[in-house]
Structure 1
């Protein structure tokens, strides 16, 4: 790296220096079998300042969230709020509901998230109080979590088995709660190789069975646990290691059936408030397939609103939350096509940007978060979407949602003390053997530029080297 930087100092033109650096990165022995893709475009003139492998399809990792959040703001608007409806069917006689309670979601990924404010217990208690406050003291039917606005298949088909049981691989439902995650606490030991028993699960997931094979590794070794499970399953396989110590160590997993879990939570709080319901919690899927089921007229008790979309988009881009990005993708798809599946949502999003004039050759995504290893796009695809977003009515909120290099979000430690710090807005992306940055910066002449850098399929163990290279690219580009 030092030799490369010394050579670059001999070149006076900033753009030439950047191109030379990218050439050197592509020819690095640990990167040359992969692809370095780069694209920079003026948002004022539309001129491309730099294109390097810019038309090659590469994995995007989490920079794909810039597309999902842009699509959501453009289609739904900055002030859009997800709504969750508390409803009932049947009749209320002498404070007894002769029917069911329904909690019907519209895809809100933030419901019951401590990141937003109200915890899962606080939200569940609030819904239970609304039922009691409506004059219902006993329920003869069920409390049902209804997430049917989206497909029952909550996962993208191309997500891998090692991801889907973990918090970052949580499926997106029409009704979500606590960001669809829970924490498993393992008891640490000071001896390497010891078994690490589970001490608790928070929040408590009813009927879950954990086949635990987790052991203790060296102190400071970090979280190397994978949780294997599938949607609607009650069995989880835990494998891997936790670091040695004398406390508890927590690992996050994905709730297998969030709508049913939320219904269970509301029912628990309803009972604690003195309400009576004797029937066990039942999934909406089970209820729909039960004998004699038919859709019934529902009546509204109350509506729970999410924070505005502009706030959720900022959370998504600052904290790189997969669930939020996939919720945005599916919500855009449902809004445009009335189909809440991943496949339909992807098609709708492609149509959206094609109609806005973006060339989407090479754009073959599979989800909204970038978790899929088979989803690809080109550097120009992303840079052009960012360029096009500059003229959207929601651009101020979109721009504010992207972290500031050297200051905030996942890029707060990037390029500190350089001219790029405070000048570049960038979303980072990282999956196996892929690192990426994309966003906006102001060039030396005052022009705003959109940019994308992706290094794809580099050698195992080269993560830190690739990040340093990308950091140098970001430092150099602001001098253009």
Structure 2
């Protein structure tokens, strides 16, 4: 066996962390017992480093690896969500004497461009230009408890805290842009998308201060669902900036967006855009498919998109049986009054999704292994979620050996290149790793290519009140794996802790 692999194996035999990793932990004033590690060559024998790997720990966003691999494993990379659109009442010469119903089935990527395309298709394909009734938004595929976006960390306007929704439109968020006009003494403010009935200050005064805390300097007033007001100023030194924020009126966001886009497209609406269930007798006009699952999980893993992960998690129970609507048929002729048979729409609760993912873990890795995980949600934005690093390493090994390996690996951030791992400039392209961060968690998990051409599974998780200081230690561990280098002389193992 080559010397590099022997060097890595020596660390496990010595029951020690690599010296540079332990030194980085000491500098951060973190105990070695706060770190859990598994390093193992893909498909090749026991771990070469295992430290504190059996006790379940909070993985933060690294849990998205469980959700996304489970989805790929069960559904395949080409699977997609469907958003059917139904009509009620007769349609003559572009005038619908009834309502349009858009039925959400969990699509995480109904961004503004795709909502626009859906409404344009309603006009061009279904031939609806005037609606004498309403546009009804059906959210009933998910049965979710009442929760505030600020429940987790007290910051309800962070897009990462947006709650899932069976008909999630544009992440219920608005992107505010600020363009300085120095000669006029103000910055122009624009929002994308425009929402019907929501007013935003068109300008905000410029200031001459530094750009450090420009968001705080703006003093945004966000609680009014009908107006966004910036009471402060915008630093000229910032140049052009943008700021995505979750909408204050999360419940009414979809109606405002659809109303605005429908009217921009020249559509006429006699009633209103409102929430409601699909009524009996509606007929299927068309079905809009989402991008394929492989594309969606790239957004989830590379950018750690919480609400997209939750959409996927809640979709799994019904998707594994079938969420596709009945065969698409054109609207029935007005005179016939015929109605297409409606497909059954199962309603998913969070507990259904949790049970489904637990069953998948047990079927894949055994009941005993599944007991090493506490499934709370699909994103890892949780204080209760737990998984053992040993089980997570087994999952990564199974993913590497599976037919969907290319899709999962390509969804992970690439060190020094993109996503949440862009900062690791010293290891450009050598690691595909999902990151995880909470107030008391710092984590990395994925695959690392060493200088000797070996590919390793790496799982490294820190649970500690000062976990934010652990990043240099995790980065040192990545570098150690890349170099295939032997560990420095072994320190004593932390009491009651660690490796085999």
TM-score > 0.5, shorter chain as reference: yes
Asked if the contact 2:415/2:425 (under 8 Å) is kept, the reply is yes
Please, which of 466, 471, 474 is the counterpart of residue 470 of structure 2?
Answer: 466
- C-alpha distance in structure 1 between counterparts of 2:460 and 2:20, whole Å: 12
CA contact (8 A) 2:34 2:464 kept: yes
1:135 has 2:134 as partner: no
Match of 1:48, SS state, is coil
Return the offset for 1:377: 2.3
Q: Is the 8 A contact 1:101 1:142 kept in 2?
A: yes
Q: Residues 306 and 223 of structure 1: is their aligned pair in 2 closer, same or farther, counting only changes over 3 Å?
A: farther
Aligned partner of 2:157 in structure 1 is 165
SS in 2 for 1:356: helix
* Contact 1:68–1:329 (CA under 8 A) maintained in structure 2: yes
Deviations 1:54-91 (A, max 9, x none): 12333222212211211111111111112222211222
Specify every segment of 5 or more residues in structure 2 that has no aligned partner in the other structure, as ranges. 1-6, 322-345, 486-500
Comparing both chains, which one has the higher relative contact order based on Cα–Cα distances under 8 Å and sequence gaps of 6 or more? 2
**More displaced 10-residue stretch of structure 1: 367-376 or 320-329:** 367-376
* Aligned mates of 1:475, 1:364 — CA distance in 2: 31
Q: Distance in 2 between matches of 1:26 and 1:137?
A: 64
1:350 pairs, out of 337, 354, 358, with 358
Q: Equivalent residues in 2 for 1:39-50 (5 A)?
A: 39-50=38-49
- Name 1:221's counterpart in structure 2: 212
Query: 3-state SS of the aligned residue for 1:71?
Result: helix
**Equivalent residue runs for 1:373-388 within 5 Å:** 373-388=383-398
Q: Quick one: distance in 2 between partners of 1:163 and 1:240?
A: 19
Q: Name the CA distance, whole Å, in 2 between partners of 1:23 and 1:281.
A: 59
Match of 2:193 in 1: 203
What are the superposed Cα offsets for residues 423-478 of structure 1, whole Å, 9 maximum, x if unpaired? 3221112222322110013457765432211122243xx73x52211111111123
Cα displacement (A) at 1:356? 0.5
Q: In the alignment, which residue of structure 2 is the partner of 1:407? A: 417
Q: Which residue number in structure 2 is paired with residue 307 of structure 1?
A: 291
- Tell me which moved more, 383-392 or 237-246: 237-246
Deviation at 1:186, TM superposition (A): 6.8
Correspondence 1:176-325 to 2 at 5 A: 176-184=168-176, 199-207=189-197, 219-222=210-213, 234=225, 244-245=235-236, 250-255=242-247, 261-284=253-276, 288=277, 295-325=279-309
Secondary structure of 1:330's aligned partner: helix
**Of the candidates 424, 431, 434, which is equivalent to residue 427 of structure 1?**
434
Structure 2 residue 407 is matched with structure 1 residue 397:
yes
- TM-score, length basis structure 1: 0.78
Structure 1: tracts of 5 or more residues without a match: 1-9, 113-119, 191-195, 289-293
